[in-house]
Structure 1
C-alpha cells in the first residue's frame, strides 16, 4: 500500500496549519478522482486527516476562538455541522468495497462537494476573523495545541471505518446531521 505523507507540524500559526491541511484535503481529493492512483490508500489517508483535523479544531481551535470573541457560537456550531457532513460523506466512500466503480466516483464527488464547501466557508468566516481578532502569540499557542492533537490522533490510527461510523452515529444523535437529506444513501 502506498504511504501518503500527511505532514507532522509541531508548531506554527494555527491559521497557517489549518490552511496547510486544507491544501492537503484538496490534493487528496484530486488523487481520489484519479483512477491511476492508489485510491484505497488515498481514502485511508483522507479519513485519518479528516478525523484528526476536525477533532483537533472542535476540541482546541473553535472553543478558543469563541473565548477570544473572534467567532460566535453560530460559526463554531456551523463548522461542527459541516465536519459531521464531511464525516458522513467520507463514510459513504469508506464503505464501498471497490474503488473502480461508478458508485465510488459518485461518493467521491459528493465528498468533494461537501468538503470544498466547508473549506471555503471556514476560510472566510472562521480563519479570517482568527487572523484579525487573535494575537500572533495566541495563534501560535493554538497552533501547537492543534498540531499536537492532530498528530496524536493520526498516530493513534484515527479514521478507520469503525471510527468514522462511530463519529457519524454520534453526530446524528447530537442533531448535527439533517436526516431529511439522506434520501439517496445506497
Structure 2
C-alpha cells in the first residue's frame, strides 16, 4: 500500500501532482484482491478529501485571483470533486470489500477520479505553471500542504465526514437548480 505523503510544501503544481500519482497507486491497490482493501480505502478517503478541500480553499481561489483560471474552471473542478466524493461514499458504504459490488464501486470511483485528474492537470495545473510566478507557486504549495495536513489531522476521511460533504454538495446543487428556474 502506498504510504500517505506527508508534504510540507514546494511548487504547488508538483505537490498536487505527487498526490495525483499517489491516487493512481492507491487505486491500483484497491483493485488488487490480494491487498488490504479496507486499509487502502481508509487512506484513500483521507487523502482524497484532504486534497480536494485544500485545493478548493487555498489553490483554486489563488489561481483565480492571478487570472490563471476562470470561475467556470473552478466550478467545473469543484463539481468533479463532488462527483468523486459521491463515488467514494458509495464505495465506503459497501460492507464486503471482497464482493463484486466493491469491485463495481471501485471502478466507478476510478473512472471519476481518472477523468478529474486528467482535466485538472491540463486545465488547472498547466496554466498555473505558465501564468503564475514561481514564488507564488511555492507559497501556494505551503498553503496547500498545511491545509491538507490540517484536514488529515481532523479525520476528514471518515465516512461521517464524506457523507456530510456529499449531502452539502447535493443541497448546493438543488439550490442552484432552484435559483436557475426562478
Tell me the TM-score range normalised by the shorter chain: over 0.9
Across the two proteins, how many residue pairs are aligned to each other? 176
Aligned to 2:17: 19
Higher relative helix content: 2
Aligned to 1:81: 79
CA distance in 1, matches of 2:101, 2:8: 38
CA distance in 2, matches of 1:173, 1:130: 31
CA distance in 2, matches of 1:157, 1:166: 13
SS of the residue corresponding to residue 174 of structure 1 reads: helix
Aligned to 1:174: 172
Q: Which moved more, 1:60-69 or 1:147-156?
A: 147-156
CA distance in 1, matches of 2:69, 2:22: 24
CA distance in 1, matches of 2:163, 2:9: 31
- CA RMSD for the aligned pairs? 1.5
Q: 2:127 aligns with which of 121, 125, 129?
A: 129
SS of the residue corresponding to residue 4 of structure 2 reads: coil
Aligned to 1:65: 63
Question: TM-score, normalising length from structure 1?
Answer: 0.92
CA distance in 2, matches of 1:148, 1:8: 10
SS of the residue corresponding to residue 60 of structure 1 reads: helix
1:9-158 → structure 2 map (5 Å cutoff): 9-158=7-156
- Give the unaligned 5+ runs of structure 1: 177-186
Question: TM-score, normalising length from structure 2?
Answer: 0.94
Q: After TM superposition, where is structure 1 displaced by more than 2 Å over at least 4 residues in a row?
A: none
CA distance in 2, matches of 1:87, 1:162: 12
Shift of 1:5: 2.1
1:39-98 deviations in whole A, cap 9, x for unaligned? 000000010001100000000000000000000000011000000000000001100101
- Give the unaligned 5+ runs of structure 2: 175-182
Shift of 1:127: 0.2
Aligned to 1:165: 163
CA distance in 2, matches of 1:11, 1:124: 21
